[in-house]
Amino acid sequence: MIEDRQADKTVIVRLRNFVGDVVLGIPALRLLERHGYRLQLIGKGWAPALLEAEGWAVQVRPKKLGDRVAQLKALRREARARQPDFDRQANAIALPWSFSAALEMRLAGLKGVGYAHEARGWLLHRSVPMPAPGHALLNYWELACRFLGVDEPPPAEIGMTVSAAQREAAAQLLAQHGVDEPFLLICPFAGGTFEVLDKTWPRFADFVELAAARGLRLVVCPGPGEEEAATRQYPKALSLPGVKLGVYAALLQRAALVVSNDTGPAHVAAAVGGRVLSVLGPTKPELWAPWGARVDVQRQYPEWLTPEAVLARAEALLAGAVPSGGAWPFCMAPAA
């Protein structure tokens, strides 16, 4: 049981390294805040833009180990200036499971809490046993609960914040490109693999061709390095490169339907309450499906779903012929 602390307590939290993981960690961060903690977050270069509307302090993690430790030491000094007893109890959380996350906290003199992984338990102030296999959101939620010494159920919705300014910027961007009707926002790029298997739906380009032929308006927001591929592989979709993550969240929220791979923007879309059609292959939805009541998972592997099947499902969702989403953690719709 973690000790009671004074009001305006500080906790330093190292975020995960991927957009989807950071989004799935938002409920855990809100739980900490609800229990009286001032959050000092550390993440990748895109993290401040992604979490801009949440109002949290987000620092960009430096590349070199020495700079990372210096950053943590500076945050520790600031916290001690506000809270004299900061060093007397657990004061940091490592959401990543990596050895380096625990090492950096230890070198900075922080008392970190994290899961026991990669033999890093001796580096942590409190090492929490690895959880049973389950959804990633639950892993982050459970770690926050163990830090706080509470047992609370996770929320059914993430409810990621989108600011009025971000929604206005998204509206202006669409108007600039003449998009004044409902549109499908496609998320065809998926980084990495799942258990060494390619998690990118190989028929996404065929789906886009079929959807465009049916008169559906398509939009894609390529990330850095994806611009050329977006134009070449999806010429029927309006490409909007260089969109900041917060504005991207507003676009995902505004779309009539988001059709995605297993990728970070799908988690953002679900988190902001967008309607999501998630096309999965090897990815296990019980571990990584987007979290939300308006998520519809279509999964088939190793053959993958056909573009005709996904288009039929998309049109049914748009027409309201089938409900999107269901009970936690996802609605696993039967493959067509």
- The edge-to-edge listing of strands for the beta sheet with 126-128 is 57-60, 37-43, 9-14, 92-94, 112-115, 126-128
Residues β-bridged to residue 58: 41
Q: Can you tell me whether residue 40 is helix, strand or coil?
A: strand
For helices 164-176 and 245-254, what crossing angle results, to 10°?
70
Of all helices (H) and strands (E), which one includes residue 318? helix 307-319
Token pair of 315 as six digits: 């049109």
Predicted local confidence at residue 310, as pLDDT: 97
Between CA 19 and CA 144, with CA 130 as vertex, the angle to 5 degrees is: 60
Cβ atoms 252, 272 nearer than 8 A? yes
- Burial of residue 78 (CB within 10 Å: 0-12, 13-18, 19+) is middle
User: Going edge to edge, which strands form the sheet with 295-299?
Assistant: 238-239, 218-220, 184-187, 257-260, 276-280, 295-299, 331-333
pLDDT of residue 132: 86
Tens digit of pLDDT at every position of the chain (336 positions): 334 444 479 999 999 999 999 999 999 999 999 999 999 999 999 999 999 999 999 999 999 999 999 999 999 999 999 999 999 999 999 999 999 999 999 999 999 999 999 899 999 999 999 988 899 999 999 999 999 999 999 999 999 999 999 999 999 999 999 999 999 999 999 877 666 678 889 999 999 999 999 999 999 999 999 999 999 999 999 999 999 999 999 999 999 999 999 999 999 999 999 999 999 999 899 998 999 999 999 998 888 999 999 999 999 999 986 765 543 344 444 443
Element spanning 48, H or E: helix 47-50
Does the 164-333 domain belong in CATH 3.40.50.720? no
Instruction: Give the relative orientation of helices 204-213 and 307-319 as an angle to the nearest 10 degrees.
Output: 50
Same fold across 9-148 and 164-333: yes
SS3 state at 171:
helix
Report in angstroms the alpha-carbon separations of 328 from 105, 166, 280, 285. Answer: 34, 28, 17, 11
Domain spans, the chain = 9-148, 164-333
Q: What is the reported pLDDT for 274?
A: 96
* Residue whose C-alpha is closest to residue 249's, from 50, 9, 15: 50
CA distance 128 to 120: 11
CA 289, 328, 218 angle in degrees (round to 5)?
Answer: 45
Tally of CB atoms within 10 A around 323? 13
Show Cβ contacts of residue 216 under 8 Å, excluding neighbours closer than 6 positions. 183, 184, 314
Indicate the DSSP class of residue 145.
H
Angle, CA 199 vertex, CA 277 and CA 97 arms, to 5°: 105
The pLDDT score that the predictor gives to residue 131 is 87
Q: What CATH fold (topology level) applies to the domain 9-148? A: Rossmann fold (3.40.50)
Match 């895109």 to its residue by tokens. 46
